[in-house]
């Protein structure tokens, strides 16, 4: 508990020293919080000269890797942050001091059950090649098997990182609950949901077996592709905290000067980046969702026909068939400025509730998007259009799903990368033919033929069973019809008996009333007659009950 309080104080001290309390509007803070800020925490803002976004970035960097990655994730939620803060968070660098290489070697040996690292690897470099918040990478060469002599990188999770992550995540969840409860706009900002989403992403990144599986899937999707090369993962040497992968020799995609000096076709490189993204999303439904410049390289071979090299597959996104179709139709409707279609698609897909007025929604989309289209297409940000669309839809009760947030983030990365490589890139012109071709393949006669081919083995297996299944179905229907007829007859008989019971009940009631009146009138001959009539009625009713049963 004391450790947690110390960490909470450290976080509070850091936030106040960078003046992050000043970012929150004063009318959002209760008077008690404002008073406590001045009485209990006398720490002044030491960075008043810096803009708010810079102060927030510096504070997160000083708090450590968990908070750095949180800031990176927040930078993709432009619906929650002002543009200047979102842009500053986007430049957060996930680079931290490396931990001891000898300790990394011991972790690898323990994970792979080796007496010595050299039992499986040659040329192991104790000095890490790169270091990040979750893991660091060492180089080596495979020693045995068919792949002996292959240069590899060994990725190893930082020691004791999980307790640190768990502790900071618990504090984040506490702070999120406080913000959700006390901020006037807490419900819209959804701090609890943001932290929950971050927890899942971060925990997934700690499992290198998951990352290895993602890499294998992507490599299979782009086998023999000129667009993207995924390094080979050596599964026999991979564990939850260790992953061994082929070492690549590429140029960082952010090193534009070197790329241009090598004579790389920058226009083709930028366009292929867009094609890689749309291929992953619409063809494979499985996309690399962390495509920032640090994870993307360019092959040194064939500069006139450039190929991307990808690494770091801890975060991937998936889309189902319905999401893909609605996204493609939405994009094409935007290209054609068919805002009515966009509004209807959002409602049909379930992203926006059915009760939303489609005319009002269409008008809101037009209001946001028409000013954008007054610019030349080459100057329009595809990613920002998607952000504006989601922001508008959220006003109409749209709940953005996690896979759409990942898609938005990845599209922003891809577009920024493409414009860096080739500023004249017309993303719309590059994307529209791809989307039209995909829609044609999904909804045209080719889709029908492909569906028949895909289902042919299933139908070939079931066809011999069809006569038996048909006979069983018809036989069941006949028995069901007979059963329903018997039940209807039984119900009719019960209704008839009930009607008779009501009728005789009314006669009995009338006789009781008459009997009472005659007793009151003291008619002498009535007593024996009434007794005999009552006995007769009682006997008759008893006989009816026995017959009915």
Annotate 384-436 with DSSP letters as a single string. Answer: HHHHHHHHHHHHTT----HHHHHHHHHHHHHHHHHHHH-TT--HHHHHHHHHH
> CA-to-CA distance for 218 and 240, rounded, in angstroms?
19
Q: Which of 79, 168, 290, 312 is the catalytic position?
A: 290
Q: Is 389 annotated as a binding residue?
A: no
286 beta partners: 318
Q: Is 131 annotated as a binding residue?
A: yes
Q: Is 52 annotated as a binding residue?
A: no
Whole-prediction pTM value? 0.70
Using 50, 70 and 90 to split pLDDT, how confident is the model at 202? confident
Range of lowest pLDDT (134-138, 317-321, 465-469) = 465-469
Instruction: Give the pLDDT confidence score for residue 454 in this predicted structure.
Output: 59
CB burial of residue 102 (10 Å; 0-12, 13-18, 19+): exposed
Q: Is 155 annotated as a binding residue?
A: yes
Q: Is 225 annotated as a binding residue?
A: no
309, 231 contact by CB (below 8 A): yes
Range of lowest pLDDT (62-76, 371-385, 448-462) = 448-462
Closest by alpha carbon to 96, among 46, 175, 161? Answer: 161
Most confident segment among 85-94, 139-148, 395-404: 139-148
Per DSSP, 294 falls in state: G
pLDDT reading at 184 higher than 60:
no
pLDDT reading at 307 higher than 90:
yes
317 beta partners: 287
Range of lowest pLDDT (220-229, 427-436, 484-493) = 427-436
Using 50, 70 and 90 to split pLDDT, how confident is the model at 108? very high
pLDDT reading at 20 higher than 90:
no
pLDDT reading at 150 higher than 60:
yes
Instruction: Give the pLDDT confidence score for residue 43 in this predicted structure.
Output: 67
94 is catalytic: no
pLDDT reading at 252 higher than 80:
yes
Q: Is 235 annotated as a binding residue?
A: no
Q: Is 517 annotated as a binding residue?
A: no
Question: Is 35 or 159 the better-scoring residue by pLDDT?
Answer: 159
Range of lowest pLDDT (182-186, 259-263, 458-462, 477-481) = 182-186
Range of lowest pLDDT (23-27, 456-460, 505-509) = 23-27
Residue 308 structure tokens: 């991307």
Q: Is 54 annotated as a binding residue?
A: no
pLDDT reading at 330 higher than 60:
yes
pLDDT, one tens digit per residue, over 24-34 is 655 555 555 56
Mean pLDDT of 228-241: 94
Q: Mind giving me the DSSP string for 482-507? A: HHHHHHHHHHHHHHHHHHHHHHHHHH
309 beta partners: 229, 297
The two counts, helices (H) then strands (E), for the chain are: 21, 11
At which residue do the structure tokens 């506490």 appear?
Answer: 174
Instruction: Give the pLDDT confidence score for residue 49 in this predicted structure.
Output: 73
pLDDT, one tens digit per residue, over 309-323 is 999 898 888 888 888
pLDDT reading at 95 higher than 90:
no
């Amino acid at each position: 508990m004391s450790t947690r309080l110390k960490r909470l104080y450290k976080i509070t001290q850091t936030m106040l020293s960078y003046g992050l309390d000043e970012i929150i509007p004063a009318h959002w803070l209760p008077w008690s919080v404002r008073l406590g800020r001045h009485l209990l925490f006398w720490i002044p803002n030491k960075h008043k000269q810096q803009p708010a976004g810079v102060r927030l970035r510096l504070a997160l960097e000083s708090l450590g890797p968990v908070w750095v990655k949180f800031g990176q994730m927040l930078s993709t939620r432009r619906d929650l942050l002002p543009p200047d803060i979102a842009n500053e968070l986007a430049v957060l660098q996930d680079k931290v001091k490396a931990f001891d290489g000898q300790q990394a070697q011991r972790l690898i040996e323990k994970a792979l059950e080796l007496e010595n690292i050299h039992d499986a690897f040659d040329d192991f470099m104790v000095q890490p090649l790169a270091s990040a918040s979750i893991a660091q990478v060492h180089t080596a060469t495979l020693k045995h098997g068919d792949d002996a002599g292959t240069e590899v990188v060994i990725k190893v999770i930082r020691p004791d990182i999980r307790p640190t992550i768990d502790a900071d995540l618990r504090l984040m969840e506490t702070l999120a609950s406080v913000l959700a409860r006390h901020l006037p706009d807490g419900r819209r900002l959804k701090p609890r949901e943001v932290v929950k989403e971050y927890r899942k992403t971060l925990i997934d990144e700690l499992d290198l077996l998951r990352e290895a599986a993602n890499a294998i899937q992507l490599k299979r999707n782009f086998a023999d592709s000129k667009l993207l090369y995924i390094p080979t993962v050596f599964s026999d040497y991979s564990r939850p905290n260790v992953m061994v992968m082929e070492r690549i020799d590429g140029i960082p995609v952010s090193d534009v000067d070197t790329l241009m000096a090598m004579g790389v076709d920058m226009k083709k490189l930028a366009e292929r980046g867009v094609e890689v993204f749309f291929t992953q999303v619409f063809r494979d439904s499985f996309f690399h969702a962390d495509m920032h410049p640090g994870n993307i390289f360019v092959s040194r071979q064939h500069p006139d026909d450039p190929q991307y090299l990808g690494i770091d597959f801890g975060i991937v996104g998936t889309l189902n068939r319905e999401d893909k179709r609605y996204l493609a139709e939405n994009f094409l409707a935007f290209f054609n400025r068919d805002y009515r279609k966009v509004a209807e698609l959002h409602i049909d897909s379930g992203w926006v509730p059915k009760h939303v007025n489609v005319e009002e929604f269409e008008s809101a989309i037009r209001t946001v998007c028409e000013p954008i289209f007054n610019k030349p297409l080459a100057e329009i940000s595809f990613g920002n259009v998607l952000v504006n669309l989601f922001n508008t839809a959220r006003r109409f009760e749209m709940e953005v799903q996690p896979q759409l947030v990942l898609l938005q983030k990845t599209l922003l990365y891809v577009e920024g990368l493409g414009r860096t490589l080739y500023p004249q890139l017309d993303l719309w012109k590059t994307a529209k033919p791809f989307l039209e071709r995909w829609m044609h393949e999904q909804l045209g006669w080719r889709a029908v033929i492909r569906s028949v081919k895909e289902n042919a083995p299933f139908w070939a297996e079931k066809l011999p069973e069809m006569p038996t299944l048909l006979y069983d179905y018809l036989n069941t229907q006949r028995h069901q019809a007979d059963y329903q007829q018997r039940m209807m007859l039984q119900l009719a008989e019960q209704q008839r008996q009930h009607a008779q019971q009501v009728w005789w009940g009314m006669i009995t009631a009338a006789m009781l009333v008459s009997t009472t009146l005659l007793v009151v009138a003291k008619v002498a001959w009535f007593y024996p007659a009434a007794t005999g009539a009552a006995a007769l009625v009682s006997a008759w009713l008893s006989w009816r009950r026995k017959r009915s049963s």
